[in-house]
Amino acid sequence: MSDLWDDICSYKFIQPRPYKYDVFLICPVRYADDEQKTKLQNYINFLENKNLVVYYPARDTKQDDPIGYQICLANRAAIYNSQEIHLFWDKNSKGSLFDLGMAFMACKKLFIVNPDTIEKTECKSFENMILEWDRKSKS
């Protein structure tokens, strides 16, 4: 029995198309602390030094929307127009969860930037789902 991911999001069946961004970086924005911001900027510099085009929501999405709807629209468009998703995991980031849902719906490959921060659990969990998505994206 094939699994649903393979049936719906089999990358071999997704038509290649030109993407505006190589990477959309899902990460904390509103409540990111200074240490996270430094790690994120170092990671972005690493990718951009490899000539990859990175969409970083804290920099590339206008964050002055008092409701958040326009932020979600902008991130949705950027996720759709990105080849793959890189996740800087912070279990407290609600915006990251929303963006992950959009990326999953868009059948994007996911790569975890900081896998050491995600603990596999014994039962069904969002952490396990992210780890599995990352694993499937690498295969």
What pLDDT score does 18 carry?
82
Question: What mean pLDDT do residues 3-23 have?
Answer: 66
Residue 66 located in a structural domain = yes
> 29 vs 6, 18, 21, 33, CA distance in Å?
32, 27, 19, 9
Question: With bands split at pLDDT 50, 70 and 90, how would you rate the model's confidence at 139?
Answer: confident
The Cα–Cα gap between 36 and 29 comes to 10
Residue 11 located in a structural domain = no
Of the candidates 137, 139, 58, the one whose C-alpha atom is nearest the C-alpha of residue 95 is: 58
Residue 99 located in a structural domain = yes
Reported pTM = 0.89
Over residues 91-114, the pLDDT tens digits come to: 999 999 999 999 999 999 999 999
Residue 54 located in a structural domain = yes
In the chain, how many domains are there?
1
Share of the chain above pLDDT 90, in %: 86
